[in-house]
Structure 1
Amino acid sequence: MADVSSTSELVSMARYWQRTLLDADLKSVKATPDGRNVNATLLEIQSGVLREHQVKAIFETVPEQKVTAALPAKTAPTPASASTKPRRERLRVIVVPFLIASKAEDQSRRKMGSAEKVLAPLVIPALLEEETGALSRRAGEPPWVAREYLEPVGGSGLVIGSQDELDHYLTATEIPGDGDQQDPAAAWGAWYAYAEGMLPKDWKERIEQQGYAIVPTGGRVFPDEDVRGVNQRLISVYDAIRATPGSASALFGSYASHADEPQRDPLPPEKWNTARHVGHVNAVHPLSVSQRVAIAHALATPQGALFPLNGPPGTGKTTWLHALWSSLWVKAAIDGEERPPLIVVSSTNNQAVTNVQESLAKDVQEPRWLPTLPSAAAGQAIDLLGIYIPSSTKVQEAAAKGMRVTSPQMDYFNDFEQASGYTSAARAYWLQEFRKACPAPKVDTVEEGIAHLRATMQRLSRLTIEVIDSARLANAFEAACERRYAAFGGIAQAQAQLVKAKHEASQREQRWATAGQRWDAYLGGESIWQGVFGFLPSIRTSRGARDRAALRSLGIEVAALPGEHAVPSKEAREAVVQLLAQRLEQARAKHASVGEALSKSNDDHARLMTLVGKFDRTMRDIALDQDLQSWLPAASQALVQGAASLRRQDVDEFDVPTGLQPWLDRTLRHAMFRIAVHYWEGRWTAEVERVRAANALKKPTPDWRKAAWGRRAMLTPCFVTTMHTGSGVFTCRPAGEDWQPHWGVIDWLVVDEAGQIAPEIAGPMMALAQRAVTVGDRKQIPPVWSVSDRVDAANARRLDVAADAAAYERLADQSMASASGSVLGIAQRRSPWRAPGMPETGLYLLEHRRCVDPVIAYCNELSYAGRIQPKRGMTGIVDGHPWPHMGFAHVPGECETVSGSRRNVFEARMIASWLKRESETIRKHYGKATLGECVAIITPFALQKASLLKEMDTAFGRGAADVGNLTVGTVHSMQGAERALIIFSSVYSAGGDAQSYFFDKMDSVLNVAVSRARDSFLVFGDIGIFRPTAQTASGLLARHLMKDRGNEIVLSYTDVRREDLLEPNSEPTYLYDLVDHQKALTDCIDRAQGALTIVSPWVTMPAITTDALPEKMRAAADRGVDIVVYADDRSLRTDAEHPRKRVDDALSQLREAGVKVIRVTDPLHAKMLLVDDAQFVEGSFNWLSASRDDQYAKFESSVSYAGPRVAAHIEKARSLLSQLAQLSADGAAK
């Protein structure tokens, strides 16, 4: 790990991040009543002068040292005081000119807490004179509109304007000067006018439309030291870091460091520490390949380090977190630690942390060996393995949902620890349950039971390590043998061949030894006279012949002898002796070599058999372990009994049925997790009894606080809280000192949705922790940054973090800038791990199991370059699934811009109508009681959410039981969540005022929206805005939606009508069946006087000839009617049901009838008739292609509007169609 930040660097970053939080709090004022602020009328605030009693009420609550004396001597007298002083005092105050509250009838819908019912959208920092009551501007501190009320918003409350509108105003409007010192009232008036101009001119109408009203009691003025926003606890921790920078944990030093970590590839499996991964929660589903790689590296995270996990949607982040905390919990038990690690999962919002809490309740179903709490809290039990630490305003809500809560208001643990007699009862109950689960050992005390459980976990851990290590050793040695004996074809073949070779070498050695003996015998048998008279030719000849014959009998050719030695010379005979000795030596060496090789192969084979035997014995021991069997469900017991079918060679093959690691997850690791639950329960009873005996349950010392958290961690391995709440909860109080942060008390901090968290938010919790695992995905929703680049750069420069623009750019590149960074970005930069081919550092989860393949294919192409591995396929989808997986419904509504936000009321009404029609089918299909369990509606705009909620209430009735808690909102409302069906309300309309679409500004919007859908993602809106040729997120979505003609959802237009097109006291004409539509088309042709426009994506010969349309159109054209048909060129070219020639023939007949046919290259989904400027018909009927055979006709519906009000709509529709025609022509020209 690279060096952590220096002390000066650490303090600078703490000061810089703290400044961001302070700025954010000032810009989110909650003007709630208390004794330190006063009401003031709008007129009083506009005039710039407060009354005497108002001034007194503010000043008397502020210590003197907070009041400054720095005003100029000349100020006009005011009604507040007629006296004069040479120097007058002033106070920094916050002025809220007016307050907004939701109307009474909307309270139940908005579910606001009392502190949130009064909103302060416009805030003006000011100075207040004590003597005169005059308000004046504060230099360098401009007014602001709270960001939370500007579109785009992450929440779903009031929208008063848009950020774009405000930016335009600030750019175009000159900031007033200080004004004439002789006329401070005029200066304040100019300043107030500038502030009020930051709001849209029609802001009052906008809030009225959203169900809000101005509070009649006026605005408020209060000291700005009273602005204690949501970030106060974070700010306090930064204060402590700055005061004592050496106290913060090493983790914060790493987090605040500007150094980049050198990168390297992830470790191969053989280098993993197998002793760390010892727990697994789920007995059915093992870890995936990428989850296993990530858990091995995360568990090796050293103290003071950050580990980033990149988790695209649906890749099992929650399952992975379960594997992390369960292994840490079990390992502490095996090692006999004094307490388990304190593991805290934290994020910025309650939705993220409660998702983790709910997964613990759903996925972990281990019965506890502790009794319910008697008497006063009857029925309260220690059951869940996750504890929620909520803010004070969320305690009751969380408890009502069945969550287990610890907080100052409601401490789940204290109820048990302090209940009289509970501990002794709990110990007796625990012992009773132990004896049921473990009948074999005779145990008389809880301590003996605890020891037995720990010994069992140690044994299972040892078996886990042995089976992995023995398999790896055997496999490695087997691979080495295969390489070593590759020439033989393997070790078994080598042994056989070497035995044979040794035998042959032995024979050769014997042969040459015998040859030497025979040669010696031959020479010894020769007559002495042969040697004496050997010079005689005859004797020499005969002697030479005998020598050659003797040599041949020994297998030696004379030619093998040195050339200068002619047989039978003395030299030749001596050469023969040397040759025979040499051959014998060679044969002996060969024999010895082959013998050694054979011995080595025998040793290798024996070692391999020993290693394999150790693996086999370990597996046999596991299969026969009755204690293990008792801790496993039936399916896992069967796995243990079938251990012989596992392949040792698959120890590090993580995605095969015979893989050892997945098998261990479901057997030994799962058993150890279950045992650890009860081990720590027993330890908790012993610890509480010890502490109660020492009367030390509550002593506000660091050691006591750490011990208290340690006891809690014995009952739950996982605490979940927000960053804001957690930074104030993990505190301690050293003797004689004030409360302060409890540095390093958290062993493992898990930052969930880390890609959505700005850097300054997580810093305080980092300072309280020893290690951090950051889980997130930078391809999903980015943080909601609370400061602009301009303000952030100024802060960084002023606080010595970035001296110039280049330095600030580096800060942004390091993901540390408050205006652009994220926690995940910092963790990635500080991580050494980078998998080959991956775009970012850290480990990745890649196997996707949430969505069906057609749904996740879009996200994979949009954001992940095909790296996600779809694993679900079409699992769980039965034949005849009622809805397309990537579907769309064309809703030709009108998009309106209101309060800087957008809505499409007709679209909202259509969605509500469709859900009403489909509700029973949806609930029955998924076996759920409420629609909210199956469906969620996502829209880009908060204002559209309000429209959707209103239309849902109209369609179903407010609070309808079959709707349930249906989520409707922006993508933020569904981050981390999922539903079977996701409906996307796109809001925009083709030909509208939007130059671009909000969901195209960031790919993350549609990436998140689509990936929430398990089975179907359904777009409801004007499909004309989705252009397949566009290289945008919506363009890609269009290509996926329009792959199949069957992806279109046919809507019923008879349930919903366009009020804006209706004349007063009139009704539209509804078309219900084929006959209605045929008659309407004929009537429109006959009625048209000047212009008839027919929009029909498909055109077929049977449709136009059955109704004799060419003849009817010819008659209309002859009387001067301009008939234009718009058709979808792509549909005409790819219609499988009607051959190309037949389609061309149909178009030719229309042209011959005087009809202008325009083939639109962009997908065309509207089905309309436009008659002159007097009649407009829209619906689901394809006018020129729908089957005219009643037997095969589909359900179709349309609505006809007539009258003066349709004229503007018809004009707009024709204009849009003309634009499409021009685009098609331009495209053809290219």
Structure 2
Amino acid sequence: MGLKADVTRARVVEFWRTVEMFSPQKVDKPDREQRMFVARPGQPLPWDPEHELAQWQLKREQAWRHTVYLGIYRRTEVFDVLSQVFEPDQESYDERPGGDSAVAAFLVGEDGRALLNSEVLSSCAWATGEVHRSQGCEPDWLSQFQDAVLDFTAEWRDFVTDAVLLGDEETPPQYVLRVLDFADLAHCLKIAVGATGTSGVLTAADIRISSQIVARRKAENPGGHDFLNSFVMSDLALVAKQAEKGDAGAALREYLRPEADIPIGRRIDVRERLDHVLARTAPQLVPGGRWPSNAAHALALSQQLAVITASGLQDEEGLIGVNGPPGTGKTTMLRDLVADLVVTRAQRLAALPEPGKAFTGRRFNWRTGEFKRVIHQWNPELIGFEMVLASTNNVAVENVTDEIPSADAIDESWRERAAEVDYFADIATALLAPDPETEPKGTSVAGQDPEGWALVAAKLGNKKNRGRFVDSFWFHKPDDQKPDDWCGMMLLLKKYELEAPDTTWAAAVEEFRTAVARVEELRTERGAVHQALERHSVLVAGVADQREAVAEAGRRVDAARARCAEAADAERVHKAETDRIALAQQAKDEQSARDRLAAAEGVIRDRRGVIERLSSGRRVAAERKVQSHEGETTERWNAHGAHQDTRPGWLVTLCTLGAAKRKWSTKDNWLAQQVAAAKHDLASAHEELAAVQWEIDAARRDLDAAAHDAESVQQSLAAGIPVPKVHHEPFETARRAVAAANRELTSAEHAQAHARAKLQALEEELGVLGGRLTDAAAALGRHYPDTTWWQDRDRRELAALWTDTEWNTARSALFIAALALHKAFLRHRPTEMRQSLQAAVDLVSGEAPRDIDPDAVLAAWQSLFFVVPVVSTTFASYARLFGHLGREALGWLLIDEAGQAAPQNAAGALWRTRRAVVVGDPLQLEPINALPFRAEQAIRLEFGVDEQWLTSHTSVQRLADRLTPLGTELPGDDAPTWVGIPLTVHRRCDQPMFEIVNTVAYDGLMIDGTAPAPGRRFAEKYPKLPESKWIDVPGDAAQGHWIPGEGVQLDRVLDTLAKLDFDMSDVLVIGPFRDIARRVVTRTESHRGLVAGTVHAVQGKQADVVVLVLGGAPDRPGARRWAASKPNLLNVAVSRAKHRLYVIGDHKAWSTLPYFTVLAAKLGRTDPV
């Protein structure tokens, strides 16, 4: 069974890998400013001395490196080819991936020569060519593609190489490479098109060249990176291989659990089972660490339940899903989880006898260039806390990792204490600074760059982020011109090595333990209240039960007394009663015998008369009737036989033209009927005779029985009826009953006394406990589960239990104390940390050797996570970042916007992780599939995997939700959808936006927790701004899905906002289709700061004002039906708007569609202005 399950899991991953063949990376559009050029005949190439790049003055340590993209094609072309082979429903509409890609690519050095081992063949182009050739798909595509890659590599390498200088046994052969010109590139394109079989299938004509400035020492290093194909495809190959060997790990194994193997009977609906919610949020389970937010602002109950459940994974492995509808505080929830994990690691750190015991003493080594690296292995107690925040959406993960270290993420009341600890706030601030290449300085709120409070998170992932992290975190040196400039971590640790710590390790631990003690003291108090509350519930039920027990004891006493009296009366009268009964019974028996005798004699007389009458009357008549019918039957039979003899011959029949035959037949039929009637009458006569005989036989039987009974009674009467013998046993029984009743009375009276005493004790305890709980309820306020907590859902959900201001303050202080202890550790062990972090920086920057000890890699990463608890990456960059790591190497994977992530994207990350918290919403945007549905179905059938693994039907969030026993049900397409722990308190949108999304998508799950003050301030600031509304623009004329009339209305809305001096960075203009997005994006040129695009592009964003431009070609209603097929798109669009929503579109065409009916009902309709 285990082996079969491993193979099944592996086939699912292989299926996903095949799907990923059709997910190529995008190739940027030509842009001189971004140094993306189109290669054209007769024009210089970027490495030619005549090219404009030759005028650039690079630093000595810099060099040019160029990426050549061969055969540019639109990714929609792939979709079109697949749709031709796997014909879709003509009424359907598939959201298609946009952008361009290429058939092949390779790197060229600054001297114009190709870099061997950099060549990449597009899996998407090759697979598209195969589909076109075979008009279908095959399960061995993966191996066939590898063969095609080998063929392409050989032919391409042979072409770009002028000669090969053969070496001896010790010297490898050397390739002499030609300097490439346009004709050479064109020939490389021809090789690539031939290798992929895409001639006439994809346009694949243009060649683009991207030129990058790189470190000179890396310029000739191809890097081994696939910059053309799916980011996760190679990682899926590794995961599939390991899964087949049973090396999947707990988190990934759970993730790939088939639907049929999920014990849905163990699911607990948190909206229904409040007793479970109360038990699972008990003070004993509340995390010790808390984010330093406003202590008076506790988490919502659902957030606290999610944090506690996630924190509970520390003692096990696996994953949970958290359903995070828009505006319900996903980041807030994750921050508290981060705080708890940092505190837990600090507790283990404090338990060490001395800081050196944080390491095992084992050291690893590797060389980066000429430099030797030393990495120190960590004590197992201190590992497993590594947190990676990942998502498909780069903006989503960067938003979280930018928010966590930002000073705005902590309450004003904590900033002084945070500054005292100073957990590398300068480095955090540097990492938060805008990217000088894309964002000007001072672009944040109030024109100031963001300030960091602590180095608790950093964004890694893509090369640019990693480079910025390495420069700021590690290498930064103070500017001599800036006396207050800061140091990077490398210089800080070197400084720590040269000076004594400002406090002893014992003192640092004691300070931390003091904070722990305060938290635990308050926990104990609240735990006592919780236990008292549980005891109170038990007592209330116990008192009710005991009162019933006292009443029952009283009833027993009364009944026992009554039985005593009854037994005594019975004892006195029993003798007389026995005599009377005996005599009466004798008389009754004698009279009964005489009555029986008289009755028997009557029966004898009656039966004799009956027999005589039947024998002489009815039987004689019946016999005569039989005789008569026998004669009649014989006569008719003979007549019919005689007639048979007169049947006319053929000649007579012919001569009379059949008349004689017809006449004879008529009479023959009549005679046959006469015979049948006679036979029937004869049978009836026989039956009548038999019935008379049966009555005679019955009467004789009755006569015999009555005669026998009469003889028996006569004998009894002759002998005399005896008087019944009455013994004294009834009297003895009555006397025993008296004794038993007395004993029972004594027992009942004792039980009554005991029940009364127990009731009194319970009532006294209940009274004392009730007083304590009254005091506790007054102290805890809304954080105490009084009777209204059970009855009022809004009151229940808005605030977590037990976490009052006092405890929240202590828990936040503990988190800061934990950071202080981590920093103190660096002060006491700076050398080990500097050495290990230097190795980690090699890994982040890509400088580390490829073939190094995985244990050394892991120890280096663990060192980085010790200093920076959370790092973020997209799934696309995950394998490149953590590719050296193996199964379950890291502690925690925090997945954000998981509803938008295709299921295959998370497989590699889950394989490398012990525990995963998957946060997202299946009712917001779903993954955009690179394949038409029917094409994916065909691939699935070839692999023989279940439909539940279709990437077009599921997401990372859906797979995690189904595995999470705590959750609830939300409306689904065909049946309710189970979601993991739901976050329910929404704190973003004003009305009517909140009511729209809560109705359309969440079945009323969410609670409106949006503070009224921001909405009031907004209305006061812009009193002339209209309320949210639907501007009705009939879609008569269209350009694709763009309606020009809607564009006119959009411009008027934007102009109105501009005249009100509205900050356009707080405006989103979105549409469901790319045709709309392309048009609305042009408005950003005239309205600085405006954000515009498709609905997909703005998930994770929010704005004061959202303008939703619906569009929709009138002659292509399938597109509108697609947009309204699920609540997701409308949910995301509406929930971006904090204060105003303006919908522009054809009210008649859209308002009758599913979900848009709600939008139409909640928004007032107006004519164009």
TM-score, normalization by structure 1: 0.54
Task: Kindly state the Cα deviation for residue 446 of structure 1 after the two structures are TM-superposed.
Answer: 1.8
Q: Distance in 1 between matches of 2:427 and 2:538?
A: 63
Q: Distance in 1 between matches of 2:131 and 2:4?
A: 42
Which of 751, 754, 759 does residue 596 from structure 1 map onto? Answer: 754
Structure 1 residues 658 and 121, CA gap change in structure 2 (3 angstroms): closer
Which of 379, 391, 396 does residue 352 from structure 1 map onto? Answer: 396
Alignment of 1:501-580 (within 5 A): 562-564=572-574
Structure 1 residues 236 and 38, CA gap change in structure 2 (3 angstroms): farther
SS at match of 1:445: helix
Which of 873, 876, 882 does residue 730 from structure 1 map onto? Answer: 882
* Residue pair 1:908, 1:951 contacting (<8 A) in 2 also: no
Which of 245, 269, 272 does residue 280 from structure 2 map onto? Answer: 272
Q: Distance in 2 between matches of 1:468 and 1:241?
A: 48
Residue 1129 of structure 2 corresponds to which residue in structure 1? Answer: 1005
Whichever residue aligns with residue 741 of structure 1, its letter is: L
Q: Distance in 2 between matches of 1:18 and 1:171?
A: 16
Residue 285 of structure 1 corresponds to which residue in structure 2? Answer: 297
Structure 1 residues 393 and 683, CA gap change in structure 2 (3 angstroms): closer
Whichever residue aligns with residue 286 of structure 1, its letter is: A
Which of 315, 319, 324 does residue 306 from structure 1 map onto? Answer: 319
Whichever residue aligns with residue 985 of structure 1, its letter is: V
Q: Percent identity?
A: 19
* Residue pair 2:70, 2:208 contacting (<8 A) in 1 also: no
Task: Kindly state the Cα deviation for residue 970 of structure 1 after the two structures are TM-superposed.
Answer: 0.6
* Residue pair 1:157, 1:942 contacting (<8 A) in 2 also: no
Bigger drift between 228-237 and 588-597 goes to 228-237
Residues 248-295 of structure 1: CA distance to partner in whole angstroms, max 9, x if unpaired?
A: 432222223435311123271355374332244342433334444444
Q: Distance in 1 between matches of 2:193 and 2:926?
A: 38
User: 2:983 aligned with 1:975, yes or no?
Assistant: no
SS at match of 1:285: coil
Bigger drift between 364-373 and 821-830 goes to 364-373
Structure 1 residues 349 and 482, CA gap change in structure 2 (3 angstroms): same
Task: Kindly state the Cα deviation for residue 189 of structure 1 after the two structures are TM-superposed.
Answer: 15
Residues 115-138 of structure 1: CA distance to partner in whole angstroms, max 9, x if unpaired?
A: 9998964289xxxxxxxxxxxxxx
* Residue pair 2:392, 2:876 contacting (<8 A) in 1 also: yes
User: 2:73 aligned with 1:122, yes or no?
Assistant: yes
Residue 674 of structure 1 corresponds to which residue in structure 2? Answer: 813
Residue 821 of structure 1 corresponds to which residue in structure 2? Answer: 954
Residue 889 of structure 1 corresponds to which residue in structure 2? Answer: 1031
Q: Distance in 1 between matches of 2:1006 and 2:423?
A: 45
Alignment of 1:292-691 (within 5 A): 292-301=304-313, 303-333=316-346, 338=382, 341-360=385-404, 361=406, 362-365=408-411, 366-367=414-415, 368=418, 369-371=420-422, 383-384=453-454, 386-395=456-465, 415-416=488-489, 418-420=491-493, 422-423=495-496, 445-485=507-547, 562-564=572-574, 585=743, 587-605=745-763, 608=766, 655-656=794-795, 661-664=800-803, 666-687=805-826, 689-690=828-829
Residue 859 of structure 1 corresponds to which residue in structure 2? Answer: 997
Residue 1214 of structure 1 corresponds to which residue in structure 2? Answer: none
Q: What is the aligned residue count?
A: 805
Alignment of 1:931-950 (within 5 A): 931-933=1064-1066, 935-950=1067-1082
Q: Distance in 2 between matches of 1:664 and 1:644?
A: 9
Q: Distance in 2 between matches of 1:1010 and 1:413?
A: 44
SS at match of 2:1139: strand
Task: Kindly state the Cα deviation for residue 444 of structure 1 after the two structures are TM-superposed.
Answer: 7.5
Which of 911, 918, 943 does residue 767 from structure 1 map onto? Answer: 911
Structure 1 residues 582 and 290, CA gap change in structure 2 (3 angstroms): same
TM-score, normalization by structure 2: 0.57
Whichever residue aligns with residue 312 of structure 1, its letter is: P
Task: Kindly state the Cα deviation for residue 725 of structure 1 after the two structures are TM-superposed.
Answer: 2.1
Residue 778 of structure 1 corresponds to which residue in structure 2? Answer: 922
Whichever residue aligns with residue 840 of structure 1, its letter is: T
Q: Distance in 2 between matches of 1:422 and 1:189?
A: 55
Alignment of 1:1130-1145 (within 5 A): none
Structure 1 residues 978 and 484, CA gap change in structure 2 (3 angstroms): farther
* Residue pair 2:325, 2:921 contacting (<8 A) in 1 also: yes
Q: Distance in 1 between matches of 2:745 and 2:785?
A: 44
Q: Distance in 1 between matches of 2:26 and 2:263?
A: 39
Residue 253 of structure 1 corresponds to which residue in structure 2? Answer: 253
Task: Kindly state the Cα deviation for residue 876 of structure 1 after the two structures are TM-superposed.
Answer: 4.6
Q: Distance in 1 between matches of 2:729 and 2:1027?
A: 99
Which of 728, 747, 758 does residue 902 from structure 2 map onto? Answer: 758
Structure 1 residues 256 and 475, CA gap change in structure 2 (3 angstroms): same
Q: Distance in 1 between matches of 2:1124 and 2:783?
A: 52
* Residue pair 2:13, 2:239 contacting (<8 A) in 1 also: no
Structure 1 residues 262 and 25, CA gap change in structure 2 (3 angstroms): same
Task: Kindly state the Cα deviation for residue 171 of structure 1 after the two structures are TM-superposed.
Answer: 15
Task: Kindly state the Cα deviation for residue 466 of structure 1 after the two structures are TM-superposed.
Answer: 3.2
Whichever residue aligns with residue 465 of structure 2, its letter is: V
SS at match of 1:485: helix
Structure 1 residues 485 and 727, CA gap change in structure 2 (3 angstroms): farther
Structure 1 residues 765 and 562, CA gap change in structure 2 (3 angstroms): same
Alignment of 1:1011-1030 (within 5 A): 1011-1026=1135-1150, 1028=1151, 1030=1152
Residues 1093-1124 of structure 1: CA distance to partner in whole angstroms, max 9, x if unpaired?
A: xxxxxxxxxxxxxxxxxxxxxxxxxxxxxxxx
Alignment of 1:40-51 (within 5 A): none
Whichever residue aligns with residue 329 of structure 2, its letter is: G
* Residue pair 1:856, 1:1011 contacting (<8 A) in 2 also: yes
Task: Kindly state the Cα deviation for residue 968 of structure 1 after the two structures are TM-superposed.
Answer: 0.6
Alignment of 1:1147-1162 (within 5 A): none
Task: Kindly state the Cα deviation for residue 896 of structure 1 after the two structures are TM-superposed.
Answer: 4.6
Q: Which runs of 5+ in 2 are unaligned?
A: 53-63, 76-80, 87-92, 103-124, 137-186, 212-221, 352-380, 432-450, 479-484, 578-727, 840-851
Task: Kindly state the Cα deviation for residue 780 of structure 1 after the two structures are TM-superposed.
Answer: 1.8
SS at match of 1:664: coil
Residue 1090 of structure 1 corresponds to which residue in structure 2? Answer: none
Q: Distance in 1 between matches of 2:789 and 2:464?
A: 47
SS at match of 1:229: coil
Task: Kindly state the Cα deviation for residue 768 of structure 1 after the two structures are TM-superposed.
Answer: 0.9
Q: Distance in 1 between matches of 2:795 and 2:1033?
A: 47
* Residue pair 1:389, 1:406 contacting (<8 A) in 2 also: no
Q: Distance in 2 between matches of 1:572 and 1:378?
A: 102
Alignment of 1:839-858 (within 5 A): 839-841=976-978, 842-858=980-996
Question: Considering only CA atoms, is the larger Rg found in Structure 1 or Structure 2?
Answer: 2
Residues 921-955 of structure 1: CA distance to partner in whole angstroms, max 9, x if unpaired?
A: 474xxxxxx3213x21112344433433434534x
Structure 1 residues 895 and 305, CA gap change in structure 2 (3 angstroms): farther
Q: Distance in 2 between matches of 1:771 and 1:189?
A: 43
* Residue pair 2:989, 2:1010 contacting (<8 A) in 1 also: yes
Whichever residue aligns with residue 573 of structure 2, its letter is: G
Whose helix fraction is larger, Structure 1's or Structure 2's? 2
Residue 139 of structure 2 corresponds to which residue in structure 1? Answer: none
Task: Kindly state the Cα deviation for residue 972 of structure 1 after the two structures are TM-superposed.
Answer: 1.7
Task: Kindly state the Cα deviation for residue 763 of structure 1 after the two structures are TM-superposed.
Answer: 0.5
Alignment of 1:961-972 (within 5 A): 963-964=1088-1089, 966-972=1090-1096
Residue 1108 of structure 2 corresponds to which residue in structure 1? Answer: 984
Whichever residue aligns with residue 938 of structure 1, its letter is: I
SS at match of 1:744: coil
Residues 946-968 of structure 1: CA distance to partner in whole angstroms, max 9, x if unpaired?
A: 433434534x5xxxxxx43x211
Whichever residue aligns with residue 18 of structure 2, its letter is: R
Task: Kindly state the Cα deviation for residue 765 of structure 1 after the two structures are TM-superposed.
Answer: 0.3
